[in-house]
Structure 1
Amino acid sequence: MKKKLYIIGAGTGAEDFLTQRALKLMESCDVIYSTAHRFLSDSRRKVIECPVTEIPKLIEVSEGQNIALLVSGDTGFFSIAGSLSDKLENKVDIEVVCGISSLQYFCSKTGNSYENIKVVSLHGREKNILGQISYNPKVFVLTGGENRAHTICKSLSDGGLTEIKAIIGENLSMPEERIISGTVKELAGYTFDNLAVMLLENPNYVNCHIPLRDEDFQRGKVPMTKEEIRAITLAKLAIEPSDIVFDIGAGTGSVAVEMARRAFDGSVYAIEKNPEAMELIYKNRVKLGAYNVKVVSGTAPDIFEELPVPDRAFIGGSSGNMADIVGRLTEINPGIHIVANTITLESLNDAINSFQENGFETEVVCINSSVSKKVGRYHMMNANNPVYIITGKKVHKEDKIL
């Protein structure tokens, strides 16, 4: 007969916030394990603390037939319950018992509803928070490890979002509970414990689903990719929300800002060597709320060594280094997806050759667009320069239609 394991959401830690179902099951269990010392530290019940990695072995050798395992918060909210269930499903009969999440508790304590809050976990994860707070009015963050609440506040403040409002709670439901509010700039000067949560509010958030018009950007004398070309370029790039994207030869940043809206859970690195263009990118980043755009001064491909591995890359300007850029991008990520825009036939030829030499399936689209202009009581069409959009994609066998 298999042992019975109850994986129980222990809530925020205090026994008062365990459900009645959880309490009854614990009374009937032969042994109770916990993944953290803070759970039921004031309880009369004997709770055995154990590291997560040792749980499968402890349950296997346990003499108890009915076993309770307490895990942090709610079993369905960024919980280890799922991975533990997968590891143990063939060894014991498992029942998962939900608990009260830190989100529920914290919003109740601070008087917030949470149906429209974006939830992000930075506990033991590498994730970019700048995009989430740029494109959502409220973001709830689970912190921990290197991503403490005060370090997140500092990164937001350093990223230009100094006036974002934050409420931070630590040691929730425990005697030493602390909840404090202020701007991220103010709270960056505090120190918070490892297990803390935070609610960020951005009244100036941007709707990332709305496309931008050319007149939305500050331009100066730097060339800019027109909005009709941007729309097709973005469609060819097929950016995923969590992608890391390079904009090589970023110019005014028009494509970078639009890409940042698509990669709202990732980052866009706008690579530019022209100081005037870099200044425009900074201005457009702030004006249009695209704080997950990171402006990088340098020349491709040399600057790639300092940056993370990209999932997508857009080449708006290569300065004659097309072959080196495509070759280096392929070395960094053999499965990378690249789109290049060119105007001259020579640059078109360079792009096609570079893509094909690096094993990309290549597609070329030539866009001849005209935009109406009012002249008196008439409208006339003004033609833009033809633009070649070259897409390079590594096609896997499973992607091909047989």
Structure 2
Amino acid sequence: MSQRIGDKNDKIYVVGIGEDGFLGLTEYAQNTIRSADVIVGEPHCLELVRNVEFAKPVQMLTVSGALDEIVRRIEENSDKRIVVLAVGDPLFYGTARYLWEKLGKERFEIIPHVSMMQMAFARVKESWEDAFLANLSTTSLEDIFNQIRSAEKVGLFTSEELPPNVIAQKLLDVGLDYFTAYVCENLGAPNERVTCGELQDIASHTYSPLNVLILIRKPDVPDRPLSLWGKRLFGNPDDAFLQAKPKRGLLTPAEIRSIALAELDVGLASVVWDVGAGSGAVAIEAAQIARDGRVYAIEMDPEDVRLIEENAKRFGVTNLVTILGRAPEALADLPAPDCVFIGGSGRQVAELCELAFERLKQRGRLVATMGSLENVVDVHQRLRRLSRVVNVLMINLARGFYQFDRVRFQALNPTFLVSTVKVREARA
């Protein structure tokens, strides 16, 4: 016999409620609350239904906001008709998904209210279907700087640790100073307030704990701090990067970098290894592409590690991790990569390529650059035993320069680039 979803006797109702309280709910939501045996919610939510005339005696159970505590309260009262109260839409950065994962989706019925974020965008008269949204109770602000940097509109659920004034100051600290900010407090309540101002103004005031922060990009401004004007997503000029003077010139040239990154096929959420990262040019540009991923720059020279970190600051990337150590030992505890770049001229290149290939995820890509034919032969032979897809490029470049009024060309040393993709297990 078939059963409709939600027809079990132990159905749990998750009801969204706003600052307008019980009277702001639909008739169905009101009747659901009135017929409850047990109502579970944070103190503020329970206060919104404190004066309701219930159909029968009801037990109100206060929770601190910890989702595992809600699960415990539900399990303790599984033989009763339970209503869980949540602010706004329980499915929008709310409690519903967590409860489903713990107790099973079929046990729940969701009765949503208007989300705080919907109300906030309505108050500032902006559409929100194209906005970047995040909940700072579950997401690190530093991890989303890159998304904020390129967004036209941003909606942030703030947290106790990250109220609007702290967020505003952190944005200013990393050069994200080109947004108009709106702090929307106590939406739907009699003491509702919307404050509009520059980030500097927002950073100097405090606000009610019940708030949403909206950022609207000012017209005709760049998607990066002024200090980064002229810097590209990849293929930046070599002199844009700090380099150790005794080793100057060993940085992967911009043209080679561009080809290598194309062969790596870095995605938005890729995990990337840059083995022998030097000054970090490849790692930094990979991090700019993989803005939702993570890039690991492995380097054994402490001075170069410092330069990588300085260069990362210059380019404003926050998803790059420096690893001081020698490969392959330094690779042991890193997560499996989607992309691996190996640069260098030592005899270890072929061995590192083989070890890195084994760690690659399926469909992952490996790119190695080298300057000697001996290394090309060795790397190619080893990788051909592991994959049928191995490509070799010899790149000859010459850069033009002016000598008086004539253009002359200065050749770069030829570079060999070997790339492969992990499409199948090793052949017999």
Matched with 1:142 is 157
1:9 aligned to which of 11, 16, 35: 16
Gaps of 5+ in 2: 1-6, 53-57, 64-68, 225-231
Identity %: 23
Specify the SS of the correspondent of 1:134: helix
Structure 1 residues 372, 344: CA separation in 2 closer, same or farther (over 3 Å shift)?
A: closer
1:121 aligned to which of 135, 144, 155: 135
Matched with 2:70 is 52
Q: Deviations over 1:338-397 (max 9, x none)?
A: 5433232455467679989xx975854222346698999999998872422344749579
Structure 1 residues 229, 55: CA separation in 2 closer, same or farther (over 3 Å shift)?
A: farther
Matched with 2:266 is 239
The alignment's TM-score, normalised by the length of structure 2, stands at: 0.66
- For residues 171 and 319 of structure 1, the distance between their equivalents in structure 2, rounded to whole angstroms, comes to 63
The alignment's TM-score, normalised by the length of structure 1, stands at: 0.69
The one-letter code matched in structure 1 to 2:45 is F
Task: Name the count of aligned residue pairs.
Answer: 385
- For residues 295 and 86 of structure 1, the distance between their equivalents in structure 2, rounded to whole angstroms, comes to 32
Give the superposition deviation at 1:138.
2.8
Q: Deviations over 1:123-149 (max 9, x none)?
A: 234571122123323322223376555
- For residues 334 and 194 of structure 1, the distance between their equivalents in structure 2, rounded to whole angstroms, comes to 45
| Mapping 1:320-399, distance limit 5 Å | 322=349, 335=361, 338-348=366-376, 364-369=390-395, 385-391=414-420, 393=422
Larger-Rg structure: 2
- For residues 360 and 188 of structure 1, the distance between their equivalents in structure 2, rounded to whole angstroms, comes to 55
| Mapping 1:2-401, distance limit 5 Å | 2-3=8-9, 4-11=11-18, 13-15=19-21, 18-21=24-27, 23-26=29-32, 29-31=35-37, 33-39=39-45, 41-43=47-49, 44-45=51-52, 48-50=61-63, 51-58=69-76, 60-62=78-80, 64=81, 67-85=82-100, 87-89=102-104, 92=107, 94-126=108-140, 128-144=143-159, 149=164, 152-153=167-168, 155-158=170-173, 160-161=174-175, 163=177, 165=179, 166-169=181-184, 171-174=186-189, 196-201=211-216, 203-205=221-223, 212-214=234-236, 218=240, 222-225=249-252, 229-250=256-277, 253-270=280-297, 273=301, 282=310, 286=314, 290-292=316-318, 294=320, 296=322, 298=324, 300-301=326-327, 309=335, 311=337, 312-317=339-344, 322=349, 335=361, 338-348=366-376, 364-369=390-395, 385-391=414-420, 393=422
Q: Deviations over 1:220-266 (max 9, x none)?
A: 85455456644553344343423443434445654334322331223
Give the superposition deviation at 1:105.
1.7
Task: Report the more deviating stretch, 118-127 or 319-328.
Answer: 319-328
Structure 1 residues 34, 271: CA separation in 2 closer, same or farther (over 3 Å shift)?
A: same
Contact preservation (8 Å) 1:8, 1:22: no
Specify the SS of the correspondent of 1:39: helix
Give the superposition deviation at 1:295.
7.6
Calculate the aligned-residue CA RMSD, in Å. 5.1
Gaps of 5+ in 1: none
Contact preservation (8 Å) 2:273, 2:297: yes
Specify the SS of the correspondent of 1:233: helix
